[in-house]
Structure 1
Amino acid sequence: MKTLNKPQVAVLAVAIAIAGAGTIFFRAGSDAQAEPAAAVPVVKIQYATERPVSDTQDYTGRLEAVDVVDVRPKVPGTLLKVHFKDGQQVQQGDLLFTIDPAPFQTQVHQAQANLAKVGEQRRLTELEQARAQKLIASNSISRKDFDALDHGAREAAASLKGAKAELAQAQLQLSYTQVRAPISGRISRAEITPGNVVSAGGDSVPLTRIVSDSELYASFSVDEQSYLRIIAPSLKAGARPTVKVGLANDNAFSYSATIETLDNQMDTRSGTVRVRARIDEVSPEMLPGLQARIRLQGGVPYKAVVIEDALVGTDQDRKYVLVVNKENKVERRVVETGPLQGTSRVLRGGLPAGSKVIVDGAFRAPGTVVSAVVAETPKPAANAVAGGLQ
């Protein structure tokens, strides 16, 4: 076997190294060709557009009756009868309770008798006055006697007026034994049952309560900023802001109302002012005291970006929207949110018109390069902002 010298060994080693490197390069190249480049994820977007909006703000309030009356007896006595059923509708003037009229009927009879007596006295003094006038003309009686007879006639006339007033008062007291409805509305239960003695006056126990239900207020408290932004401009323009009202079980705001009264000052402790709006058309299901959802709307219209509320995400105390920026990357854009209008959210800042808002797509991690495709219709997915929390 022939032995290789040192120069030959060196040449052979270099050749083997080159061959090995070529093999490695070939395999690496083959592997690279076997793995295609990853596809760019596609996301659906909508362009943010501006539109004229008016501010709205939602509140929780209560329905209140326009008129509420505690029915109290005006005369004392024994309650004889209740003439209504609990909770029924009553009309103004309907008979509600009867108090024993016997004592007051007696007073009427006494006043009638006194009136008859005083009337007879008045008739007699008038006759004497007429005779005295004839006698004084012929100087048949003294001036002193004439003046006494004339005074007696005038005094009798005054007594007659007093007797008539006493009779009218007695008749009025008798009429109060029939307790009638002072207003129309829905009546509560009878707080006192027949057989009990009732007292009269403002400190007496109410017999029942009537609330008007044909007209209702929606009462709520408005914060200072909403007052200045929505209510004040309308008042300055000489108009009354309107509100929408919904009941607790109503997803919509089905009723309209107009602000009628505001408190005369802002409550400095709560930073709110009390507002009452009269409901235009009252539904039979509405009762005073029910909780109400109230949407205040009005103010000066302005332009703002409006997007689906489902596209707005929350990160602690910040609101954001996912967009595709100029570099075709997903970007989290912090926004200033305004009021909710249906399913849409008004944005007061942070998202210029024309921004590409992501509405659907699996890859939403900020910084991801994506391919944006305009969505045909607004279709915010339930998880449209989930990726932004990664």
Structure 2
Amino acid sequence: MLNTLTLNRKKNAAILLLILVAMVLFFAIQRVQQRLQPIPVLAPASLAVETLTLAPAPFSIHVGYVGSVMAGRVVQIPAQVGARVMAVEHREGDRVEQGDLLIRLDDRELSNEIQRLRANEQRLRSDFDYWERQNRRNITLRQQKVIPENQLDESRRMVDSLQASIHENAEALANAEIRLGYTRIHAPFAGRIARLMTEVGDLAVPLSKPLLELVSLQAMKALVSVPQVDIGRLSRGLAVNLEISAANLHLARRIEKIYPLLDPVTRNATFEVCLSCGPEALPASLYPGMALAATVVLAQYDEALSIPHHALLWRGDEQGVFLFEDGVARWRPLQSGAVEGGRVLIRSGLKAGDRLIVTPDFRLQDGLAVAVPVLGEVSP
């Protein structure tokens, strides 16, 4: 009985050993077969890119400069007669209308002179009337040979002398009245007083130091400085957008004139823009001397193709872009133009409807498989 149990145990152990060996051999064979099978080649994943469908749109080429607001007319007004300043009616910064009284000078001396000349005129005319009657009488008496010739000559000389004196007195009176008018200094045009250079009590000297400076507000202009290398790009009539921040003012104007001489120090050129030549009224907050920014529109295209600047690439000496065509990237050479606002004007090489790849990826190459995600189409 004991021998039978021992034999069965040995038999079971042998069976388990055989099963274990069989399993080891099975897995070993499977491992060898897996190693002998060829490794499958996986298809490369498509590169995800963003695209932009090209369409014509307005495109402008601009260049910016700086300048200043200038009065279209600046006049320094001097005294035309020597007299004491009696009154100053307006101060710096005051707005005045044409004909407004600005300064009043002492007119007492001239008023007295005018009164004297008018009194002298009455006396001379009275004497002239007397001697004219006397001369007519002497002519009659001489014809009758009642008086000698020298008496007639004397009356004639008196008439001629008095007539000359009346004419001379009239000229002096007219001159005095003109000079009296100069004692009232009026505004020759509407504007603003820029500088006042006299005060009450000062002695005004004719054609010497000006009494005040008046600037016109009805013919304001802008003077814009331009580097000499840019002057060839500008021409009369080009559109200019002006921004005067201090006056919160934006104006659309055109170049009126380009000055022929350069500044001897800066070597810059200057062009002029008329600020008052538009439909809108200029605000009272606009002052001569204010700084401004001028943007000149060098060219304007109603319909043009342009692309983002970062999408333009170089391959050696050739510039171009990658287009999305049938799931692959295609290199397209092109001719570009001006750069404005981060976009490049396209001269040739692209057409409306082309799908431009705008993803800046160094892995892009001609023929590379690419894919556009659902949200991968960007707006122009």
Aligned to 2:336: 335
Q: Is the 8 A contact 2:335 2:346 kept in 1?
A: no
Q: Give the CA deviation at 1:142.
A: 5.1
Does 1:37 pair with 2:47?
no
For 2:119, what is the secondary structure of its paired residue? helix
- AA at the equivalent of 1:245: L
Distance 1:68 1:268, change over 3 A: closer
Aligned to 2:235: 231
Aligned to 2:174: 168
- AA at the equivalent of 1:193: E
- AA at the equivalent of 1:150: R
Number of residue pairs aligned between Structure 1 and Structure 2: 336
Q: Give the CA deviation at 1:160.
A: 0.9
Q: Give the CA deviation at 1:348.
A: 6.6
Distance 2:312 2:128 in 1: 94
Q: Give the CA deviation at 1:49.
A: 3.3
Does 1:291 pair with 2:298?
no
Q: Give the CA deviation at 1:222.
A: 5.7
What are the equivalent positions in structure 2 for 1:1-390 lying under 5 Å apart?
23-26=34-37, 29=39, 37-47=44-54, 49=56, 57-141=63-147, 145-201=151-207, 203-204=208-209, 206-221=210-225, 231=235, 240-248=237-245, 254-263=250-259, 265=260, 267=262, 270=267, 272=269, 274-279=271-276, 280=278, 281=280, 282-297=282-297, 305-307=304-306, 323-324=322-323, 328=329, 335-337=336-338, 340=340, 347=345, 349=347, 352-354=350-352, 356-359=355-358, 361=359, 363-365=360-362, 367-368=364-365, 369=368, 370-371=370-371, 375=377, 377-378=379-380
Please, what TM-score do these two structures have when normalized by structure 1? 0.68
Q: Pairwise CA RMSD of aligned residues?
A: 4.2
Distance 1:358 1:249 in 2: 44
For 1:103, what is the secondary structure of its paired residue? helix
Distance 2:174 2:320 in 1: 79
For 2:189, what is the secondary structure of its paired residue? coil
Distance 1:155 1:309 in 2: 95
Distance 1:39 1:155, change over 3 A: same
Distance 1:351 1:65 in 2: 50
Distance 1:324 1:231 in 2: 39
Q: Give the CA deviation at 1:163.
A: 0.8
Q: Give the CA deviation at 1:91.
A: 0.9
Distance 1:40 1:276 in 2: 54
Percent identity, aligned pairs only? 19
Please, what TM-score do these two structures have when normalized by structure 2? 0.70
Q: Give the CA deviation at 1:371.
A: 3.8
Structure 2: runs of 5 or more not aligned: 1-28
Structure 1: runs of 5 or more not aligned: 1-17, 233-239, 379-390
Distance 2:211 2:110 in 1: 20
Distance 2:372 2:320 in 1: 15
Aligned to 1:237: none
